[in-house]
Structure 1
Amino acid sequence: MPLSDVSVTDAARAAGISRDTFYRHAPSVADLLAAALGAELDAAVADFAAAPGTGRERFETAEHALFAHIAGRRAVYLHAMSPRLASPVRVMLLERVEVSLRGYLAEHPEVAPEPDGALTGDALYDLYAAYGAAGTVGAIEHWLLGGAAGDPDAVARGVLAVSAPWWWRGA
């Protein structure tokens, strides 16, 4: 059922707990869902950080894992749309992707372009990671708006095709 139709009372009843117990673990049903999905994604984030291979190979592995996760939980993510992802779910995805990208830049600062201007180092890397994460999550939402139909690997390849190639140069 749509996430917006699930009440805390419904969730607590289904789990066999009181509303008070529910609220000790999460402020809302959407926050609880985001935490559960985030725990699943943490393994993919760790895999990206530890993945062997070139930068491009690491990004391919990560994108495929991310879109496979979304496809594997398609119904859950689709029910979290209204019309876009519920805020806690969207923020969870943004944070996971942003942390991954920021970690990659910390490991490979040589790949990041250095534009003219006041932003340098950490501030610039944070900006790049935020921009990359927002684009990835935007692509996920777009795919979900279309029913998340089709091959998740093809969608992952499409996202990589429009990603800035500097992410993996020299890494």
Structure 2
Amino acid sequence: MLELASTQPVEDIAVADLVRAARINRTTFYKHAGSPAEVLKQLLYEDLDRVRVGWLEEASASGLSPQDVWEHASAALVDHLERYDAVYTVGLTDRHSTVLHYLLVDHFTASVRTLLDHNRGAVPAGAGSLVWRTEAASRFLAHGEAGLVEAWMSLPAPRDRSLFVSAAAALLPSWLVLPRP
């Protein structure tokens, strides 16, 4: 799957091509997934979930500031992006893959929601319930982070890791970084 997704957007991969490359039959394929996109999402989510668990554990145990946590998380994300560089370059450059875009948005939404669930004081004040404000803030940050990934992946390789990490930290909203009075 990764080899195929490294050469074309996942939306363009036919089940026939995937089963041929994997040397399995269609019945076996459909027992495990409904589409090539679903297979790719499973593979990437597994690694992204491992990354999330690592930085959330670090955030909980270390007492780091939200900005430091975000920088560490961004560095771990860059590691993931570099592991799957060809997949993300093909899929995100020139917006070829909505599947990859929304995979990242979903992952970032869940990550930010988890961070805010553990730090309710960081959720912005305003109209609406705490649950709604947490969801809105999570989605807002997730779409921005996905855009940052797309901008970084559009740069020619080799990409500057520190550029991504510093941009992610600099773009973090003040309501998450600054302590509340």
| TM-score computed with the length of structure 1 as normaliser | 0.88
- Greater alpha carbon shift after TM alignment, 81-90 vs 128-137: 81-90
How much has 1:96 moved relative to structure 2? 1.3
Q: SS state of the match for residue 114, structure 1?
A: coil
- Cα pair distance change 1:128/1:85, threshold 3 Å: farther
The alignment status of 1:24 with 2:25, answered yes or no, reads no
Counterpart among 8, 16, 32 of residue 2 in structure 1: 8
2:4 aligned residue: none
| Structure-2 separation of matches of 1:148 and 1:168 | 31
Q: Kindly provide the CA deviation profile for residues 102-149 of structure 1, in whole angstroms up to 9, marking residues without a partner as x.
A: 11111111122212x3x1301001000000000000111122233465
User: In structure 2, what is the Cα distance between the partners aligned to 1:45 and 1:160?
Assistant: 17
For residue 5 of structure 1, report the CA deviation from its aligned partner: 4.4
The verdict on how the C-alpha distance between 1:107 and 1:151 changes in structure 2, with shifts beyond 3 A counting, is: same
Q: Does 1:167 align with 2:173?
A: no
Quickly say closer, same or farther: Cα 1:46–1:123, change in 2 above 3 A.
same
Residues 23/98 of structure 1: CA separation in 2 closer, same or farther (3 Å cut): same
Q: Higher relative contact order at CA 8 Å, sep ≥6: structure 1 or structure 2? A: 1
Stretches of structure 2 that go unaligned for 5 or more consecutive residues are: 1-6
The root-mean-square deviation of aligned C-alpha atoms, in Å, is 2.0
Question: Residues 148 and 99 of structure 1: is their aligned pair in 2 closer, same or farther, counting only changes over 3 Å?
Answer: farther
Is the contact made by 2:88 and 2:153 (CA closer than 8 Å) also made in structure 1?
A: yes
Shift of 1:150: 2.0
Count how many residue pairs are aligned between Structure 1 and Structure 2. 169
Alignment match of 1:34 (pick from 32, 41, 54): 41
Structure 2 distance, partners of 1:146, 1:81, is: 11
Which residue pairs with 1:125 in the alignment? 134
- Mapped to 2, the partners of 1:31 and 1:88 lie a distance apart of 9
Rounded Cα–Cα distance in structure 1 between residues aligned with 2:93 and 2:67: 34
Q: Give the Cα separation in 1 of the matches to 2:151 and 2:95.
A: 9
Give 2:116's aligned amino acid: L
> What is the identity percentage for the equivalent residue pairs of Structure 1 and Structure 2?
25
TM-score, normalised via structure 2 length: 0.84
Query: Which structure 2 residues correspond to residues 1-171 of structure 1 after superposition, within 5 A?
Result: 1-3=7-9, 4-51=11-58, 52=62, 53-81=64-92, 83-84=94-95, 86-115=97-126, 117=127, 119-147=128-156, 149-170=158-179
Contact 2:92 2:100 in 1 (8 A): no
